[in-house]
Amino acid sequence: MRQYSIDNEAMIRTSSEPVPYRTQFSDGIHQNTADTTAGNGGGSSGFRPHDLLEAALATCVNMTVRMYADRHGIPLAGVTTTVSLDRAVPEEAVFRYEVALEGELTAGQRDRLMRAASACPVRRTLSRKIRFESGAGEAG
C-alpha cells in the first residue's frame, strides 16, 4: 500500500540497517538502498544521497521527453539523459545535464523535445526557492 503524508503527498520512508550508514528507502511499494562511500565510512552498497538527486532529475527529463514525443507523434526512438551535480562552489549547486535523442528527427522536432526537457517537473521544483520543515521527534 502506498504511504501518504498528512497533506496527501507521496512520501519516502527510510530505515537504518545494522551496517554503518546503509539505509533502506521505500515509497510503500518500491524499495531500494542508499549508502555512502567507503571513504566516508560506508560500504558503497547503494546510491549515495546526491546520486538520488541526480537520478530524480535525469529520470524526470527522460520521461518528460518521451511523454512529449508520444503526445505529439514525434518518432523518438530513445533518449538518454546524463546528469551530474557540481557542488564545488559552497553557495550553489549546479545540475549539468545532457540529453541524447535517438531517431529520425527533424531539427524542429529536436528543438521541441529539448524545450520539453527543460520543463520537466523535477527541474521546475529544484529551480524554486526551497525551505525545510522538520517534524523531528522520537520514534515510538
Cα three-residue angle 9-45-131, rounded to 5 degrees: 30
CA dist., res. 6 & res. 12, Å (int):
13
105 versus 6: the higher-pLDDT residue is 105
Among 3.40.640.10, 2.20.28.270, 3.40.50.11030, 3.30.300.20, what is the CATH number of 49-127? 3.30.300.20
Express each pLDDT in 16-50 by its tens digit: 999 999 999 999 999 999 999 999 999 999 999 99
Inter-helix orientation angle 49-71/107-117, to 10°: 140
Which of 136, 135, 100, 140 shows the shortest CA–CA distance to 6? 135
Express each pLDDT in 121-138 by its tens digit: 999 999 999 998 888 666
Produce one character per residue of 85-98: b if its CB has 16 or more CB atoms within 10 Å, e if not.
eeeeeeeeeebebe
pTM of the model: 0.85
Q: What is the pLDDT at residue 135?
A: 81
CA dist., res. 132 & res. 140, Å (int):
23
